[in-house]
Amino acid sequence: MERGLLRHFKVILPILASSIGNALQFYDFFLYGLASALVFGPSFFPLSNPILSTSGAFVGYAVGFVSRPLGGIVFGSVGDRYGRKTTLTWTLSLMGGATFLIGLLPTYQQAGIIAPIALITLRLIQGFAAGGEWSGGILMATENAPPKQQGFYGAWSQAGVGVGFILSSGLFFLFRAISGDQFLTWGWRLPFLVSIVVVVLGVVIRLKVGDTAEFARVAEKNGVQTPMTEVIRSYKTSVLAASTLILSEMIYVLMTTTVSLSYGAWLHVNESILIASVFVSMTADTVMMIVFGRLADLLGAPVVYGLGILCSAISIYPFFMSVGTGNPYVIMAAFVITNGIFHAGMIGTQPGLLTALFPVQVRSSGLALGQSIASVIVGFIPLISTAILYRTGSFNGVIVIFYAVSIISFCGLVLTCRKMSTFSVGTVKQTSC
């Protein structure tokens, strides 16, 4: 009995350790996006034109993605040289500390130019830490997975993404209702401040988890002294494939969350309807990630991911049309279908698909670099999309951007199919295309 409980505990703990960091990362990711669309403009960038004010807030949003490659290089190398556990403890502490401090910042009215400078500085720290968090998290899950279950275990790590979205939208909605007219004064701070609870819990859990057995075996035999250099020299095609696949998933969820909120606000759609729709759709997304992760093990990750890209491209135009109706039922259905099914099909499949692109001794560096490259591009999407929406009065330009990204991602999937059968994850090779 005790032996069974211990074995069960050893299975659950790595999943918790990997999921909680993703939860905090995307709690911050979407919370900052929500605040940029609805709060940070008037509070930190109070320009006479509200469009310019919101654009200024989205510039701050973008800089967090610019610092990700540096974080990916640093923490990816740390993860491959010293272990996944060391990386994940540092990234969670830095990311969570910066998020908490944002909730304590003075506004422009209180501190002048120091306020937006401090906000952007903390955003840079968040991005730096996030650059190494994602890759370390999914490796903690997939490298601890039993044979033929890498997709399923990796999907649990990705479920942290959904939890982060759920918590951020739910708490944002709750504190907005509680604070009422005082939301722009102090209510917006509360979601940032309560993040410290997740940070403390996450650090405690991660300190109790050892490194993955697969990493330990390789580190003893032939660890690479400069893993990032090795990735750039020998695995450029794999990095390109990973970044293009991540690109479509991240841009899709940005467009169906942050950008759609900005579009809805421009059309004077009730903000509560939009935030509630995000909350419900991300709940569905979280559950369906696990389902699609398991399907990836059964059907092959490329098949599931390819269907996700195709369906997301088909659905993006009807999605924005639905938001434009202002009908709460239509909007809710659109959010649930896009995020709860099509986005889940991509993000739930990612870990099992992408980890097979790199050997274990450079896997953390390779994944971190691939995600960081995608993140730099993704970070400017809200700014570009908002400019297009307000400039043209239409979302057609935004749709064209996503169609182009979808084509690029299909090319990345072809590259992945050629590479993914080369390296084993756990003890089995990934299903090839």
Q: Please name the residue ranges forming H helices in 143-259.
A: 150-179, 189-193, 195-207, 213-222, 227-234, 236-254
Q: Name residues of the chain where pLDDT drops below 70.
A: 1-11, 47-52, 84, 209-225, 419-433
Q: Which two tokens stand for residue 95?
A: 């990311």
Q: Is 429 helix (H, G, I), strand (E, B) or coil?
A: strand
- Which pLDDT score is estimated for 428? 37
| 0.85 surpassed by pTM | no
- Which pLDDT score is estimated for 429? 43
Sorted by where each begins, the domain ranges of the chain are 12-429
The values of phi and psi at residue 109, to 5°, are -65, -30
* CATH T-level fold of 12-429: Growth Hormone; Chain: A; (1.20.1250)
Residues 6 or more apart whose CB falls under 8 angstroms from that of 382 comprise: 33, 36, 37, 58, 61, 62, 254, 258, 259, 262
- Which pLDDT score is estimated for 421? 52
Q: How far apart are CA 378 and CA 392, in angstroms?
A: 21
Q: Mind listing the pLDDT tens digit for each residue in 99-157?
A: 899 999 998 888 888 988 998 899 999 888 887 777 777 777 777 777 788 888 888 88
**Contact yes or no for 151/351 (Cβ under 8 A):** yes
Within 10 Å of residue 47's Cβ, how many Cβ atoms? 13
- Which pLDDT score is estimated for 431? 47
Q: How far apart are CA 122 and CA 28, in angstroms?
A: 12
b (16+ CB within 10 A) / e for 104-129? ebebbeeeeeebbebbbebbbbbbbb
